[in-house]
Structure 1
Amino acid sequence: MVTIITKFQAKDMRSAAKLEDIFQKLIEETLEESGYIAYEVFTANNIPFTYYIIEKWASEKDLQNHAELVATKGYAAAAAGLLKNELNNIILQNLNH
């Protein structure tokens, strides 16, 4: 299993609203993807316009397939213009073996 956390910081309130629309579409579409385990979007109460997506995939290949779909469907390009900073991805390794 692969777990990844991605941090998004929107430029402003308008960009945040557009990001939330993209996230909603991704949540709905990701549920149908092969290898999907979990896909959750969070916001930080004390950090305006900041979001975190926590994803769990059955394999690295499933995660790569998802990333390709996000790019192919134009979500990555659309989100990039709304962000204050570059995306910050962290792939977590489970120590509970």
Structure 2
Amino acid sequence: MKTAWITLNTKDSESAQNLKDSLLNLLTLSGSEPGKVAYEVFTAESDENQFHVRESWSDSEAFEAHLNTPHLKAFTADINDWLSSPMQATMLQKVEPFDNKQVIEKLYQAVNAKDLEYIRSLGADFSEWLDVPFDYTTTGKDAIIDPWVSWFGIFPDATCEVRSLVAFGDYVIAQGIGRGTHKGVFHSPAGTLQPSGVSMQVNFCDVYKLRQGKIERADSYFDFYGLLRQLAPEKVGAAQAM
């Protein structure tokens, strides 16, 4: 989300009234723009010639589109004669009680350290985890820990090397490489794979939505075909021969 705080100081009461009328008109015109989250106009209690605007947009694209609207360009052209000093704009960043990027960074650190308590702490009654290659969803407080416990049962030394981690709003996307040694029975979409002792590595992309420091939704994508090719190449060959 993009939020701006605008300060405008007018020369006198007549200029203040002109600016007020123009701001209210701008408020109406901007109200129907795609991506508008909030648009409010204020005056300072201590100075009737001072105005403030707080505007929030869903993303950078919506904000940039607003900056290029004809009505905003007309507004900025009209107000110069009314202002005693140049308009001031400050971009704001909301202070969140939880750092979503840090929550997920710590998740992968916990995976590598086998810190099950931290992984378990990210689950809540509203949590969901979808293993995309398996088309299998777990829900509830154990929705986050259960898939990892299952994975550790197959690859006890499993680790994740995160190569890209991007956060925006409630969402975090992590991409990287998972590694481990196949030492447990793997009930896979291609059938049951008995322990092979093979050291594997697989590309993954996990998409998270967070709420109050918990994982509300996780969609876990990984290259199952590439993994199968490492653990059971005969099954890949049989599939290709069909």
TM normalised by structure 1 equals 0.92
Residue identity opposite 1:60 in structure 2: S
Q: Paired residue for 2:173?
A: none
How far off is 1:89 after superposition?
A: 0.4
SS where residue 48 of structure 1 aligns?
A: strand
Highest Rg: 1 or 2?
2
Query: Where does the alignment leave 5 or more consecutive residues of structure 1 unmatched?
Result: none
How far off is 1:93 after superposition?
A: 1.2
SS where residue 85 of structure 1 aligns?
A: coil
Structure 1 distance, partners of 2:47, 2:22, is: 20
Structure 2 distance, partners of 1:48, 1:31, is: 24
Instruction: Please tell me the root mean square deviation across aligned C-alpha atoms, in Å.
Output: 1.0
Where do 1:1-97 residues align within 5 Å?
1-69=1-69, 70-71=72-73, 74-96=74-96, 97=99
Structure 1 distance, partners of 2:63, 2:84, is: 24
How far off is 1:95 after superposition?
A: 2.8
SS where residue 82 of structure 2 aligns?
A: coil
TM normalised by structure 2 equals 0.38
Structure 2 distance, partners of 1:79, 1:67, is: 16
Structure 1 distance, partners of 2:91, 2:77, is: 21
SS where residue 86 of structure 1 aligns?
A: coil
How far off is 1:53 after superposition?
A: 0.1
Query: Where does the alignment leave 5 or more consecutive residues of structure 2 unmatched?
Result: 100-242
Structure 2 distance, partners of 1:60, 1:10, is: 29
Structure 2 distance, partners of 1:18, 1:65, is: 26
How far off is 1:48 after superposition?
A: 2.9
Q: Which has the higher contact order (CA 8 A, sep 6+)?
A: 1
Q: Paired residue for 2:195?
A: none
Structure 2 distance, partners of 1:23, 1:59, is: 23
Structure 2 distance, partners of 1:79, 1:65, is: 21
* Number of positions where the alignment pairs a residue of Structure 1 with one of Structure 2: 95
Identity of aligned residues (%): 26
